[in-house]
Chains A and B, each alone.
Chain A
């Protein structure tokens, strides 16, 4: 096998890993784990075509490959650049990267409202985490921010375009998970917006997944919005018999009640098994689900600080082992 399928060695911030040809720098970094992986706001491994847009995962390639050791002249998007054998990459160890990333975060924030205390995504918002890690405490932007009215796209989904960072993930979800895409990116430049053009509801039975892939609070679950701060809820792995999807989900409990249902996310916040609308929006009774046990949340956020599994030490989450 090793002869027909040679592995490439790539070194990121001084740590080496062997990967298959065709692997992106970002995924190689995720294989190393720890704090090596660059942040990613638009890339989503299960959504084909995603990535390359937000520019938060820019890294420096200080050595192109064993064959051609020249460094790459510009920083590259690690999510869409594949490794070469002998490549050396600098992420956190590169001042250029840290500087550029701070720039990207600043750009993402100039038109994003800084009202996290009253945002429903707070506590599980990737932009919030990113800004905390890479941003500056003050803003240099002194102009009016772009705002939009909140709209309902259907019975279950609220779109608050003001918070959108145009990662396009929700468009890929609709393209790849539903039969007929009804929403997309309209207009262009900083006037671009996610929309249905005419106010349409998104009806497809998998469309609820746009909520899970949204890295910010632009697409939220109307059945849960402002019912509770997410860190007061208790996430539990649960499953049910479902004709439509795997039925494997996380139910977020307030006391004995199921406040919301989401798909299961890994430590990068990515869903590997998408769930259907019925599971997500319509099954809120405890009797609808077989509860497996507390959900371990790896991703650094206020939710993981709760460490629910202390209550249930015997539980081993299936999906979250790096």
Chain B
């Protein structure tokens, strides 16, 4: 991606403005996390030019963006698949069989935790507690929670996402991209 191609479409710029307007004047940095979510959803991941673009949008230093983007686990600073399958691995999910679900997906897609399928469609990632402990095991894809997972349910999900790969995070159709 070259510097010039890094540009939000107008509807997304309006969304950025709405995020900034949530805060008093001069406190636009407060919208950084939200704007990074938008950037990741639109550009696929947070490359260095994307982060620099966000810094310019919010009138902050690039290092302030790098520091934040590398701190929070939801941000991808490397390319990922179109659909991120994020399987919760923490305590309650583990005792309900999360490890088996991870192994099943690894086997089915032929990738390990953290890897992306060669066609660039799926990335598998194990994550820490997503707040679905009573409905374990579970995974998050995009912004959707899929709970009470079974192997059959995983098959179904993967089939569904193969047909209709969703973008990572945020219903981007809301912003016309």
Contacts and interface: CB of A to CB of B under 8 A. Distances in A.
B4 interface: no
Interface of B: 48, 61-64, 66-67, 70-71
Interface stretch (A74-82, A176-184, A252-260, A261-269): A176-184
Nearest to A174: B63
Given A187-B71, A188-B71, A197 B66 contact: yes
Contacts of B66: 184, 186, 197
A289 to B, nearest CB: 34
Interface of A: 180-188, 196-198
Contacts of B67: 184-186
Given A197-B48, A198-B48, A187 B63 contact: no
Contacts of B62: 197
Given A181-B63, A188-B70, 9 more contacts: A180-B61, A181-B61, A182-B63, A186-B66, A186-B70, A186-B71, A196-B63, A197-B48, A197-B63
B127 to A, nearest CB: 15
B48 A187 contact: no
> Chain A: interface secondary structure?
loop
A69 to B, nearest CB: 41
A180 B61 CA distance: 8
A184 B70 CA distance: 11
> Chain B: interface secondary structure?
helix
A258 B67 CA distance: 38
26 contacts: A180-B61, A181-B61, A181-B63, A182-B61, A182-B63, A183-B63, A184-B63, A184-B64, A184-B66, A184-B67, A185-B67, A186-B66, A186-B67, A186-B70, A186-B71, A187-B70, A187-B71, A188-B70, A188-B71, A196-B63, A197-B48, A197-B62, A197-B63, A197-B66, A197-B70, A198-B48
A246 B63 CA distance: 29
B77 to A, nearest CB: 9
Contacts of A184: 63-64, 66-67
Contacts of B70: 186-188, 197
A181 B71 CA distance: 18
Contacts of A196: 63
A107 to B, nearest CB: 21
B36 to A, nearest CB: 14
Contacts of A198: 48
Contacts of A180: 61
Nearest to B64: A184
Contacts of A197: 48, 62-63, 66, 70
Contacts of A186: 66-67, 70-71
Contacts of A181: 61, 63
A186 B71 CA distance: 7
A174 B62 CA distance: 14
Nearest to A186: B70
Output the residue of A187, A196, A197 with the most chain B CB within 10 A: A197
Nearest to A198: B48
Nearest to A185: B67
B120 to A, nearest CB: 24
Instruction: For the complex of A and B, list the 8 residue pairs with the smallest distance between their C-beta atoms, beginning with the closest.
Output: A197-B66, A186-B70, A184-B67, A184-B63, A187-B70, A188-B71, A198-B48, A181-B63
A186 B66 CA distance: 7
A236 B67 CA distance: 39
Contacts of B63: 181-184, 196-197
A181 B66 CA distance: 12
B93 to A, nearest CB: 21
